[in-house]
Structure 1
Amino acid sequence: MQVLQYWLPASLWAVSAYAFATGVPVMQEVVVTGARAGMVGTADSATEGAITAKQLATRPLLRASEVMEAVPGMIVTQHSGDGKANQYFLRGFNLDHGSDFATSLMGMPVNVASHGHGQGYMDLNFLIPELVANVRYRKGVYAADDGDFTTTGSARIDYQRQLPAPFADLTAGPHGFRRVLAAGSGSIDGMQLLGAFEAARNNGPWDQPEHLRKTNAVLRLSSGTAHNGYAISALAYKSEWDATEHVPERAIERGEIGRFGALSGHDGGVTHRYSLSGEWERSNALGASKASAYVIDYGLNLFSAPSGFMNGPQGDQHEQEDQRLTWGGQVSQAWYLDDTELTLGLQLRQDRIDSVGLYDTVARVRTNTVRQDRITDTAAGLFIQARTQWRPWLRTTAGLRYDRIHADVTAAAGQFNLTNGGSVHAGQASPKLGVVFGPFGPQARTELYANWGTGFHSNDVRGATSVMNPADGSSTEKLGLFSKARGAEAGLRTTVLPGWSSSLSVWHMDLGSELVFVGDEGVTEARGASTRHGIEWSNYYAPNAWLIIDGDIAWSQARFKQAVEGGGTDIPNAIPLTASLGIGVDYGGPWFGGLRMRYLGAYALEETGAHKSSPFYTANLKLGYRIAPRVQFSADILNLFDRKANDIEYWGGACTRNEQANGECNGGIDGRLIHPLEPRTLRVNLRVAF
């Protein structure tokens, strides 16, 4: 598959040059619509698509962020409390909490740069699935308007501007799960005002109750449509919780704790996200103008003890703090010329971080400051893209993007941190190119795609300014601001039968360095260059208005280019095989529902591949009944077959309380660290519309 990275760029440029030399037909404006794979004639790659509210309506969800599992191949898990950002996996990447997949909501970025816990931290717990209008996703680094954190792809989530009718949802389940959601919209002087309020609490199945308390509110004023109109949105979210972290599997096997037990108490956190944003767009036969702006007040205090009692009988708990104000926006202008849609855009973002720190704690009380910094991080991106229809059977997309990051880091506290800090700046140009052949065949149902491009994920700016390890004072080497990614992809998309769309792709990705900010230690690790390749097959079948069937399978291989210390080239937690199958039924009568199944193959837990996770599958079921036109009852059965598998598995050092007391630790005991799947759970919901 490595031939893709060399053959595709040259071939794409050659095809473009040939087409330019042999004539130009008239290009028509293209509006990208459709669901999942059904985008023949509009898509620029085989691995982009749109997820609609209709698809999500019958989807059973354990967590709000599982909306992202509608993206083919995406896996969403959790290894801690439900107030913490989830763990994401895609295309042979352990995305950690989002470092290589960029997500935005109504034009606002969700990923957080230079975050206290991990670079690109993507907390989607504030998402309200019932308000989602659509999710537009892309894979790879082939779109010029995609910037930081888009190594594996991106997703743009939009909320609805108006609802069919106001409604109230009441949901209850075991372990103290309660959720109330009220939402509605109305017209004011020709504008639409939408409001929603959510409150939830949950203890979970854990021996140590989670005590999750979440409040969430949305207020959105809009006029017109997404393509001709504007919207102003205010969001407010706050959550607090106690967490059961991943634990050594041996502690469960020896009976020191139960399957849903914790090594120690007092882990958890509190977070908030308050935002104000605006979007505006005007389009006509000549072109389209877009502008958006946002300001976000974000905070997190996260308390964790992932290594248990490795460093002493009081435990290894630490606090990661992040308090910041983020503002930014973007403007773009598209011109619809005779044969080409030409787009020019500018994006700007600044994070004003008042405090980002790492502290040793006991029972959430600070005992030592490892490091504390103040940061001003400014990122700007300029892009241009030309989408040209050369022939009825040939179109190309060529783009160029330039990103620039400038950061000022001030070391505020920490015995070994005060020599760190300073100013740093860097830039990167990222060319993109894609060719589409088709549509071909009977009724023009098939297209072939070839894409190539470069992109990046940024490094935490503290890694680019630090010369000393804040934990022990040892010297460290400054790292670059950009980890460059180069990708190539070839694929096809076809409408097999009316209502059945299918896409197949083969892809390759090289990453200059697996730069990872380790929030638990306050340092950045450069884990070496890596290479990945894989195959994806995605299907979407809607034979009529009331039935939707979708199925995906993705295989990938992820390797370091050189063996790491200790031997081995496997990239830990890179899932090689995933599959999913879903059915949604709603024929407009009293009954409706959906069934979702997913499979995760075994993955390497450490670089030699000697230790692997256990493969497993899960299933979730939703079954609903409309008691009256405005009253409906539904039940979600999560983990339908009560699989006793693990949501996540790691390999690393930790110590239990007994091991510490018996003097067995000696710097930690390596072993399997697990966080179990939640057991079979029934949640019932009553919705009343007004």
Structure 2
Amino acid sequence: MKIIRFKPLFLAILSAIAAPVMAAGIPTLQEVSVSTVGQSLTGVADSASEGSITAKQLANRPLLRPAEVLEAVPGMIVTQHSGDGKANQYFLRGFNLDHGSDFSTHLMGMPVNMVSHAHGQGYMDLNFLIPELVGSVKYRKGVYAAEDGGLAVTGSGRIDYLRKLDKSFVDLGLGQHNYRRLVAAGSHQIGDLNLLGAVEVAGNDGPWDQPEKLDKNNIVLRLSSGTASNGFALTGMAYQADWTATEHVPERAIASGEISRYGALSAADGGKTHRYSLSGDWAKTTDEGASKANLYVIDYALNLYSAPSGYINGLQGDQHEQADQRTVWGGQGSHTWFLGPEWKDSELLAGLQLRHDRICKVGLYTTEGRQRTGTVREDRIEETAIAALFEGRTQWTKWLRSSLGLRHDQISATATALGGQFNTGNGGDVSASQTSPKLAVTLGPFDLLGKTEFYANWGHGFHSNDVRGATAVTNPQDGSAATPVPLIVKAKGSEIGLRAAPLPGWNSSLALWQMELASELVFIGDEGVTEPKGASRRHGVEWSNYITPADGWIVDADLAWSQARFNESTPDNGGRHVPNAIPLTASLGVTADNGGAWFGGLRLRYLGAYALEETATHKSTAFWMANLKAGYRISPNLQLSFDVLNLFDKKANDIEYWGGACTRSETLGGTCGGGIDGRLVHPLEPRTFRFGLRASF
């Protein structure tokens, strides 16, 4: 796959951004949201666990990676076990979401998750996100909203970029390990139209013995008019990246001194990717109703090189390539009727959603030094998902309202085998459908602990599976018989909770939830097969707090506990624990910015120990870490910032697994024996300093 270099285009767009704004000398105003969603949702929310994050909350949040924007969702954990060009690892509600499965994310109406992906179902790469442009993140948890379909078992997040900036700016970031980042963004008003443009160029070697050599380029152009509820927007985006990765490694390789703490087993892991997109959205709201529509087309590709098992198969290494090349197009439209007081202020919504993935080539290949030596499997996939959704909300009395939803999903797909010695018999047509009812009941508000509301939620949802698993006849690795898996796996969840304001400036929510999943089926991209894990149950409690003790100060504190178990003991070892399901997470954040000279934020995050395999004999090590951001405004148009990531230099692991692998010395010494089970780790990056300079116009 050839990736087109467009750095000259970056410079042209940067000039186009800066020139008219600087010449005019007139800063435009940023769109102001009058809603306090995410903090005080009394009278609006349908559950205790939904909310919204604003640009103000993100402004002074220290971030190591773009996807950590989602850590503002209470209970969400974002980590990495490979290079920074690869999708992150996500954890929420007792789920190891892998690279995104079971949490559905959209940016400006475009899906981020990729179905039937080369590396894993629901692959959610957010490295193209520019945090400075994020205007809001609206999130839901559970399967209670009609708008949410496949890959939304734990919930969903909808990210929207700003339509205007209060000032154009250029951000320059420099730091240890050859970190450098330039972001230039500006907006200009032409009559009723707003033109926003942004360019990002970034690179980083990281602390790894093998430099990461991350090279990332990003462009955003957005033309809009009006607001999200009354207006339209057209957005073009272009992103590409390439990198060298340090994968997770056997912990014993570090302990023995074969490699250092930041060393790698394979010298040529990493990858390259691109995502080009064009999207449009339109909305109109009147006293009688509201209409919304959006359309999108995405050109996406990934070539990922990994050797997670090291040298089990010999001194040439176990590296493989996972390649994905596709076009995604689709959209959705909905209309809401406001029925007025004579109908208890009911709102009726009807909508349609459509998504089509034309995957011209998705494959798994054996490689050495990124050169293909064989084809395990290569396929072409056409996958279409259509959904009809209906929802009715009624305010029965001042203290009782309800929301009743119904969603019907239909997925149809065709897989065609293109290559692979044992893959030629695979493929075919497959389809599946599910009707999912949803129910939410809200009691309140009552004059208890401020304005307090109580919520009860129940619903059905589903996890979709890779089309290759649903059309499998043989194992592409060895030709043995394979049993096809369902294209749709049902999920059922429920939740009770409350939202209160115990003191002025303090908003708190508490949710108790449970989830049943018919099967933990997961497509394993590293092997090209679907791995059945059996049915499971999860339950837990989440407590979230948002406090504004004084002007310019924000304190948020979250605590989440969960338990994840298979319904039956696994045949491998008799255990029932779901591996890598984090049972306890906590976070505490403080930001301060009253518009004066100084501003900043401090965040602490705790991850409890989790089972690495089904018996929980082997567990990860619990740890906490802190990130700090401090800034100073030299003038209204010039500011400095200073980030310290991993403030106390914790020697912990970003992620831990249990599995088979071999080091080079073990294979050379003849002790590998087809793989040695043990702890596989990817360390936290050490304490890292980054400096930033922003000039505004």
Which TM-score bucket, shorter chain as reference? Answer: over 0.9
1:235-314 to structure 2, matched below 5 A, reads 235-314=237-316
Per-residue CA deviations over 1:500-549 (Å, capped at 9, x if unaligned) read 00000100000000010100000011110000000100000013330000
Residue pair 2:60, 2:629 contacting (<8 A) in 1 also: yes
Q: 1:686 aligns with which of 687, 690, 693?
A: 693
Q: 1:337 aligns with which of 339, 353, 378?
A: 339
Residue pair 1:597, 1:619 contacting (<8 A) in 2 also: yes
Question: Which residue in the other structure is 1:178 paired with?
Answer: 180
Identical positions, percent: 66
Cα displacement (A) at 1:443: 8.9
Residue pair 2:449, 2:501 contacting (<8 A) in 1 also: no
Question: Which residue in the other structure is 2:668 paired with?
Answer: 661
Partner Cα distance (2:357, 2:633) in 1: 47
Q: Any idea what SS the aligned residue of 2:252 has?
A: helix
Partner Cα distance (2:281, 2:494) in 1: 32
Question: Which residue in the other structure is 2:87 paired with?
Answer: 85
Per-residue CA deviations over 1:623-669 (Å, capped at 9, x if unaligned) read 00000110000000000000000000000000000000011111100
Question: Which residue in the other structure is 1:27 paired with?
Answer: none
Q: 1:134 aligns with which of 136, 151, 162?
A: 136
Residue pair 2:449, 2:502 contacting (<8 A) in 1 also: no
Aligned partner of 1:372: which letter? E
**Counterpart check, 1:388 vs 2:394:** yes
Aligned partner of 1:88: which letter? Y
Aligned partner of 2:208: which letter? W
Q: 2:71 aligns with which of 69, 72, 84?
A: 69
Cα displacement (A) at 1:38: 1.7
Question: Which residue in the other structure is 1:640 paired with?
Answer: 647
Residue pair 2:450, 2:502 contacting (<8 A) in 1 also: no
Aligned partner of 2:680: which letter? L
Aligned partner of 1:232: which letter? L
Cα displacement (A) at 1:285: 1.1
Q: 1:582 aligns with which of 589, 600, 607?
A: 589
Cα displacement (A) at 1:50: 0.6
**Counterpart check, 1:460 vs 2:431:** no
Partner Cα distance (1:264, 1:451) in 2: 48
Partner Cα distance (2:138, 2:666) in 1: 49
Cα displacement (A) at 1:498: 1.5
Q: Any idea what SS the aligned residue of 2:578 has?
A: coil
Question: Which residue in the other structure is 1:195 paired with?
Answer: 197
Q: 1:95 aligns with which of 97, 103, 125?
A: 97
Partner Cα distance (1:297, 1:32) in 2: 36
Q: Any idea what SS the aligned residue of 1:674 has?
A: strand
**Counterpart check, 1:676 vs 2:683:** yes
Partner Cα distance (1:558, 1:219) in 2: 43
Aligned partner of 1:392: which letter? K
Aligned partner of 1:435: which letter? V
Cα displacement (A) at 1:36: 2.5
Residue pair 1:33, 1:50 contacting (<8 A) in 2 also: no
Q: Any idea what SS the aligned residue of 1:217 has?
A: strand
Aligned partner of 1:245: which letter? E
Aligned partner of 1:488: which letter? S
Partner Cα distance (2:96, 2:382) in 1: 28
1:103-502 to structure 2, matched below 5 A, reads 103-338=105-340, 339=344, 340-441=346-447, 445-502=451-508
Residue pair 2:196, 2:223 contacting (<8 A) in 1 also: yes
Aligned partner of 1:655: which letter? C
Q: Any idea what SS the aligned residue of 1:619 has?
A: strand
Partner Cα distance (1:236, 1:451) in 2: 39
Partner Cα distance (2:603, 2:401) in 1: 36
Partner Cα distance (2:99, 2:567) in 1: 24
Cα displacement (A) at 1:35: 4.1
Structure 1, unaligned stretches of length 5 or more? 1-30
Cα displacement (A) at 1:353: 0.3
Per-residue CA deviations over 1:420-479 (Å, capped at 9, x if unaligned) read 000001100000001000000159600000000000110001101011000000001011
Partner Cα distance (1:254, 1:72) in 2: 39
Partner Cα distance (1:270, 1:151) in 2: 30
Cα displacement (A) at 1:284: 1.2
Aligned partner of 1:660: which letter? T
Q: Any idea what SS the aligned residue of 1:251 has?
A: helix
Cα displacement (A) at 1:261: 0.1
Question: Which residue in the other structure is 1:591 paired with?
Answer: 598
Aligned partner of 1:559: which letter? R
Question: Which residue in the other structure is 2:19 paired with?
Answer: none
Residue pair 1:405, 1:427 contacting (<8 A) in 2 also: yes
Q: 1:396 to 1:32 in 2, by over 3 A?
A: farther
Residue pair 1:37, 1:48 contacting (<8 A) in 2 also: no
Question: Which residue in the other structure is 2:618 paired with?
Answer: 611
Aligned partner of 2:273: which letter? T
Q: Any idea what SS the aligned residue of 2:548 has?
A: strand
Q: 2:513 aligns with which of 497, 507, 516?
A: 507
Residue pair 2:450, 2:503 contacting (<8 A) in 1 also: no
- What stretches of structure 1 move > 3 A for 4+ residues in a row? none
Per-residue CA deviations over 1:566-611 (Å, capped at 9, x if unaligned) read 2100000000000000001001110000000000000000001000
Q: Any idea what SS the aligned residue of 1:69 has?
A: helix
Question: Which residue in the other structure is 1:21 paired with?
Answer: none
Aligned partner of 2:617: which letter? A
Partner Cα distance (2:449, 2:652) in 1: 46
Aligned partner of 1:418: which letter? T
Partner Cα distance (2:39, 2:231) in 1: 28
Partner Cα distance (1:174, 1:427) in 2: 51
Residue pair 1:459, 1:482 contacting (<8 A) in 2 also: yes
Aligned partner of 1:567: which letter? G
Partner Cα distance (1:32, 1:510) in 2: 38
Residue pair 1:32, 1:39 contacting (<8 A) in 2 also: no
Partner Cα distance (2:510, 2:208) in 1: 41
Aligned partner of 1:619: which letter? A
Partner Cα distance (1:292, 1:307) in 2: 43
1:532-611 to structure 2, matched below 5 A, reads 532-565=538-571, 566-611=573-618
Q: Any idea what SS the aligned residue of 2:132 has?
A: helix
Partner Cα distance (1:333, 1:435) in 2: 22
Partner Cα distance (1:351, 1:469) in 2: 24
**Counterpart check, 1:521 vs 2:527:** yes
Partner Cα distance (2:656, 2:448) in 1: 48
Cα displacement (A) at 1:148: 1.0
Task: Count the aligned residue pairs.
Answer: 660
Cα displacement (A) at 1:190: 1.8
Aligned partner of 2:221: which letter? L
Per-residue CA deviations over 1:155-178 (Å, capped at 9, x if unaligned) read 000000000011000000011000
TM-score computed with the length of structure 2 as normaliser: 0.94
Per-residue CA deviations over 1:8-40 (Å, capped at 9, x if unaligned) read xxxxxxxxxxxxxxxxxxxxxxx9932434211
Q: Any idea what SS the aligned residue of 2:549 has?
A: strand
Question: Which residue in the other structure is 1:9 paired with?
Answer: none
Q: Any idea what SS the aligned residue of 2:68 has?
A: helix
Q: Any idea what SS the aligned residue of 2:254 has?
A: helix
Residue pair 2:442, 2:455 contacting (<8 A) in 1 also: yes
Question: Which residue in the other structure is 2:9 paired with?
Answer: none
Aligned partner of 1:334: which letter? T
